[in-house]
Structure 1
Amino acid sequence: MKKFFFIAHMPDTPGSLHRAAEIIKKYDGNINRIQFDRRIDPGTVFYEVTATGEAYRGITRELAEIGFLQTSIKPPDFLKFAVFLPHRPGALFEFLNYTTSARANIAYIDFDDRGRHPDRLTVSLSLEQNPEVDQLLDQLKSRYRLEILEYDTTGKRLDDTVFYVRYGQAVRELIGESEDSFILAFLADTNHIAQELTDRGSDPHKVFESVLATGRTMNATSGEAFYADVQKFSLGETTTLFCFQLPCGGNLFVIRTGDDMVMVDTGYGIYHRDVLTMFSRYGLPDTSRFSRIIITHADADHCGAAGFFPVPAFMHAGTREIIRTSNRAYGSRNADSVLEAFYTKMINLFSKFNSPSDIQCFSGPSGTTRGIFPVIGTVEIGDITLEVLESLGGHTFGQVYLYSRERGLLFAADSVINFSSLSRERADYSSLAAFLVTSVNVDSDLATKERKALLDLVRETDEYQKKNGNRCLVCGGHGAVSVLETGKLAAYGSIERYRP
């Protein structure tokens, strides 16, 4: 027995759901999930069933025979026209005989004999098959005076009676041409999280809008619209730290020392070309000088461009497994979360995730700790030694921090962020993820504990550095590189805006 999904597009008539259930029962299929919401789409029903392969084929065959099975997302044609009817009893009835015969769904109809056009009926229709459009028009033209006001085959003018078709078309615009089977599977997955979030009190339309807004925002901030906020710090005579805040998602750091360059996190894959152009502006044109990439955790905005660089990517073994399973909740108490699994797949798709090919994992606990965090390795960059600290798994399983007490550096990943330094646009984008997964932390209790322990480490390190007139730089996964001022993070140094 195996679990299968399918999408049914049913007539909006009593007994349709019952008829589909009868077919599933006939083949001994067990329904694991069903979702239908008239507020979203009055004709589309999502099913997950457990059945044998032969039974599944029988179910879908019979559903297809009665016109219930949806196998494509081709939008119905949209037709808006004005028809001039004789002003007599039965005229509308006769006209509707033609539209009904063509299996057209009326989306809009308007007539008022005391209005500006007392002899004109305005109608909008959606039709499932192209030949029926021509046939209907021929019939109407032979009988009535007709004016075509609008005809659209792209799906852009359809109303919410075909909501999922419109949504599928919007997804295709974001990711490019894809097989209908892939889009239908993505629709089913989106519907599943909409069902979950609706059960928690959210507006289902907001779920679909947030998914599309995630992809659209990334697309709208790449290429000529790309920008970044940049900080640059001297860490010694030959060592420089760059922080690049990309338009969406996490920061990208570069440490340049002598002939070596090391990247800490990569940003989204969708920004890769833009990042290379930006590197040239800041004296980092030769990417062959990168010797390795350090990945703090598995979210796409931190490792999604690693595969574009032919160098080893060092990470925690848990990060490797999250990448492998495409589930950011892997290894946490929420590992079975539908929301987390969908979000990982969605963000990887929209952001053009490119997985690293040469993955090197940190060795594991050495017996040494920094506060509550085990030290699982070290990273040598020029004359800087960074300890690799293993998180508790609050944000994601396998997240790591990089720390040097002697140099006053803490790469805190997504556990310590100066939220006040985020621009409105970045904050709005981040809120989409928080809504879709309800919390960006897979374990909020552990995340709170981690943040407190890291800030304690920053305070102690800052006091140590102040003796030499220096500060502890907090390099968060988002926002500006900051220092602690009266207990709060404050952006440190100058920040300049980069544009192509």
Structure 2
Amino acid sequence: MKRYAFVARMPDRPGALHRAAEIITRYEGNINRIHFDRRIDPRTVFFEVTVPEEGYAAIRDQLALIGYLQTSLSTPSFLKFQVWLPHRTGSLDEFLTYTTAAGANISAIDFDEAGRHPDRVMISLNLAESEAAKNLLDRLKSQYRLEIIEYDTTGEQLDDTVFYVRFAQKLRPLMESPDEPFLLAFLHDINHIVQELANRGEDPKQVFDSILATGTTLTATTGASFYADVQLLPIGSRGSLYCFQFPCGGNTFVIDTPAERVMIDTGYGIYFSDVTAMLRSYGFGDSDRISRIVITHADADHCGGGGFFRIPALMHPGTCEIIRQANRAYGSRSQNSVLEEVYTTMIGLFSRFTPPRDANLLPAETKRMRGIFPVLDTMTVGDLEFEVLESLGGHLYGQIFLFCPAEGVLFTGDSLINFASLTDERRKYNSLADFLVTSVNVDSDLARKERRALLDLVAATNERLNGTGRECLVCCGHGAVSVLRDGKLQSALDPVRYTPSTGL
């Protein structure tokens, strides 16, 4: 039997949930997940059920028949008005017959004969359709004296009796034209992580706020608001290393040599237009002067723009599989985590996830070892030779590191980060993912082991380079290109701010 999900919108009265459960039972459905929280929305219930296909169709039909099945997220109209009612028995009852007939849901009513306005009643109500609101107003105006205080069709003034509808309207502009079934399915996923984190003691409001903040921050840092902090360092005999720190997410690097230019990681897909404009200003053309891309791992902020570049990409087979599975925790002990799976979906939607289409996969066999890390392959960029090291899977399964022993250059993906070099804005954005998945590392024990081994590799490289005037450059997945001094990562060079208006 298959597992199905649907959203029910029920009347707020005793027995409503029981009635839905009876329908599910009647058609041999087994409830795998249910979530209802009056503090969030007093009428919306999320179900996951295992049921034969014909049974699922019957359940939907029966729920729709009694008005429980939610199939759309249209924004109700909000009306707030004062109405002058005659001060006699039955006048309110008579008035409410009009609102009930129109299908209005009263959200607030205020009257006190001993108050400042004993001749009027303040009423707030919601109606599912704007046309119904207009018709109700016309009807009421023909019978009563009215003063409209607010009339809103955007959803901004709605109360939490329709919380998920309001939340959906805030999600819409953060995604590319989602249709109603898709948006309902996405809400179902979001509700699942709200349920999971609430069971861990987190405030549901903070979960919803963090989800919105993730999408709005990405959208708000594109176009004229895009920027990058840029470091340019010499590398090899005639090469240059560019590090671009974008407003959100991971770094993109470009190794520029007389023989070729290679990009390491791409940033989010949502930044693609901004990144190509930036690359043009640095003399890289429309990325046509970049010969290939190396992807360190499958997170959206490292490979999510790869499909926009018409350039072949090199990646680990595990990275390719994570992209295919749409689960950043695939291949780890956390791969069954609903938090990881839903976050992968969410960040993909918000960031316009478009991974590389033309991928060359690294070999699976190990050539030799570099400390605790298998060496999968070697690659040259100009006169630089890099070892491709396989991580242990602490941050993500399939993450790779690039190490150039001769020059002392190490690309660490997200296993080493100079947190002190992050701006407050980047720290705040990064904290959203930490909260929503509880840890961005899919295996924290392995992540700590990797970090220690990478720092040991940097320290050993510095010892070997002692007397040459050079230090090992640590190219972190986030933050500045750094050097290791007194056991701490320090920025190798102060970055320069690029903006679309100022350019270089």
- Tell me which interval the TM-score lies in, with the shorter structure as reference length: over 0.9
Deviates more, 1:274-283 or 1:432-441: 274-283
**Following TM superposition, by how much is the alpha carbon of 1:115 offset from its aligned partner in structure 2, in angstroms?**
4.9
Matches within 5 A, 1:130-209: 130-209=130-209
After TM superposition, give the deviation of residue 8 of structure 1 in Å.
0.5
Provide the residue aligned with 1:471 in structure 2: 471
Q: Does 1:318 align with 2:318?
A: yes
Shift of 1:277: 1.2
Supply the AA of the counterpart residue of 2:22: E
Is contact 1:365-1:377 (8 Å) kept? no
In the other structure, the counterpart of 1:18 is: 18
1:95 to partner: Cα distance: 2.5
2:412 aligned counterpart, secondary structure = strand
| CA displacement at 1:311 relative to structure 2 | 1.5
- 1: distance between equivalents of 2:57 and 2:11? 22
Please state how far the C-alpha of 1:52 moved relative to its aligned partner: 1.1
Give the aligned partner of residue 264 of structure 1.
264
Deviation string 1:394-434 (CA, Å, 9 cap, x unpaired) is: 00000000001210101010000000110000000000000
Q: Which residue of 1 aligns with 2:399?
A: 399
Distance apart, 1:85 and its partner CA: 2.2
SS at match of 1:55: helix
2:396 & 2:236 partners in 1: Cα distance? 33
Secondary structure of 1:450's counterpart equals: helix
- Residue 456 (structure 2) aligns with: 456
Letter aligned with residue 151 of structure 2: Y
CA separation in 2, counterparts of 1:323 and 1:316?
A: 11
Query: Is contact 2:236–2:383 with CA below 8 Å preserved after alignment?
Result: no
1:96, distance to aligned residue in structure 2 (A) = 2.7
- Cα drift, residue 171 of structure 1: 1.2
In 2, distance between residues paired with 1:339 and 1:42? 24
* 1:290-322 per-position Cα deviation (integer Å, ceiling 9, x unaligned): 111000000000000111111211011000000
Q: How does 1:361-372 map to 2 (within 5 A)?
A: 361-372=361-372
Equivalent residue number for residue 212 of structure 1: 212
Larger mean CA deviation between 187-196 and 169-178 belongs to 169-178
Q: Which one-letter code corresponds to 1:460 in the other structure?
A: A
Return the alpha-carbon distance in structure 2 between the equivalents of residues 135 and 278 of structure 1.
53
How many residues align structurally? 500
Corresponding residue for residue 5 of structure 2:
5
Deviates most, 30-39 or 88-97: 88-97
How far apart, CA to CA, are the structure 2 residues paired with 1:74 and 1:20? 23
Contact 1:328 1:344 in 2 (8 A): yes
Tell me what 1:35 maps to.
Answer: 35
The SS at the match of 1:183 is: helix
1:220-244 Cα distance to aligned partner (Å, 9 max, x none): 0000000110000011442100000
Q: Which residue of 2 aligns with 1:329?
A: 329
* 2:408 aligned with 1:422: no
Which digits, 9 at most, give the CA deviation of each residue in 1:116-145, with x for residues without a partner?
A: 544332211101234432342233212210
Partners of 1:79 and 1:151 within 8 A in 2: yes
Q: Distance in 2 between matches of 1:134 and 1:472?
A: 70
User: Which aligned pairs between 1:57-136 and structure 2 lie closer than 5 A?
Assistant: 57-113=57-113, 115-136=115-136
Is the CA contact (8 Å cut-off) linking 1:416 and 1:451 kept in structure 2?
A: yes
- Which segments of 5 or more consecutive residues in structure 2 lack a partner in the other structure? none
SS at match of 1:366: coil
**Contact 1:329–1:337 (Cα < 8 Å) also in 2:** yes
TM-score in terms of structure 1 length: 0.97
| Letter paired with 2:352 | K
Measure how far apart 1:464 and its partner are: 1.4
The CA deviation string for residues 102-123 of structure 1, in whole angstroms up to 9 with x for no partner, is: 2311222233455554433221
- The CA distance in 1 between the partners of 2:348 and 2:288, in whole Å, is 26
Task: Compute the TM-score of the two structures, normalised by the length of structure 2.
Answer: 0.97
The corresponding residue for 1:232 is 232
Q: Which secondary structure state, in structure 1, belongs to the residue aligned with residue 288 of structure 2? A: helix
Shift of 1:259: 4.2
CA distance in 1, matches of 2:381, 2:115: 79
The more displaced of 204-213 and 22-31 is 204-213
Bigger mean CA offset, 256-265 vs 439-448: 256-265
Aligned to 1:55: 55
Q: How does 1:368-387 map to 2 (within 5 A)?
A: 368-387=368-387
3-state SS in 2 of match to 1:161: helix
1:431-442 → structure 2 map (5 Å cutoff): 431-442=431-442
1:379 positional shift:
1.5
Q: What SS does the corresponding residue of 1:99 show, helix, strand or coil?
A: helix
- In structure 1, C-alpha distance between the alignment counterparts of 2:339 and 2:429, rounded to whole Å: 17
Answer yes or no: is the 8 Å Cα contact 2:75–2:129 preserved in 1: no
- 1:2–1:221 distance in 2 versus 1, CA, 3 Å: same
Whole-Å Cα distance in 2 between the matches of residues 159 and 106 of structure 1? 11
Between the aligned partners of 1:235 and 1:304, the Cα distance in structure 2 is: 27
User: Following the alignment from structure 1 to structure 2, what is the Cα–Cα distance between the partners of residues 3 and 400?
Assistant: 36
Whether the aligned pair in 2 keeps the contact of 1:364 and 1:377 (CA below 8 Å) is no
Cα deviation digits, residues 63-100 of structure 1 (max 9, x gap): 00000000000121111111122334543333333323
| Letter paired with 2:319 | T
| 2:252 equivalent in structure 1 | 252
Q: Distance in 1 between the 2:131 and 2:413 partners? A: 57
Question: How big is the alpha-carbon RMSD for the aligned residues of Structure 1 and Structure 2?
Answer: 1.4
Contact 2:268–2:301 (8 Å) recurs in 1: yes
Partner of 2:303: 303
Distance 1:232 1:363 in 2: 32
Task: Indicate the larger mover: 283-292 or 220-229.
Answer: 283-292
Larger CA deviation: 278-287 vs 77-86? 278-287
Q: Conserved in 1, the CA contact under 8 Å of 2:332 and 2:397?
A: yes
For 1:442 and 1:39, the matched residues in 2 are separated by: 31
**Which residue number in structure 1 is paired with residue 243 of structure 2?**
243
Q: Which residue of structure 2 aligns with residue 486 of structure 1?
A: 486
* Farther off after superposition, 152-161 or 45-54: 152-161
Whichever residue aligns with residue 14 of structure 2, its letter is P
Instruction: Give secondary structure in 2 for the equivalent of 1:75.
Output: coil
Asked if structure 2 preserves the Cα contact closer than 8 Å seen for 1:259 and 1:289, the reply is no
Match of 2:346 in 1: 346
Structure 1: how far apart are the matches of 2:298 and 2:236?
31
The answer on whether the counterparts of 1:229 and 1:246 sit within 8 Å (CA) in structure 2 is yes
**Mapped contact 1:268–1:305 kept (Cα < 8 A):** yes
Q: Secondary structure at the match of 1:287?
A: coil
Paired residue for 1:288?
288
Counterpart of 2:496? 496
Contact 2:367 2:377 survives alignment (8 Å): no
C-alpha distance in 1, partners of 2:327/2:358? 20
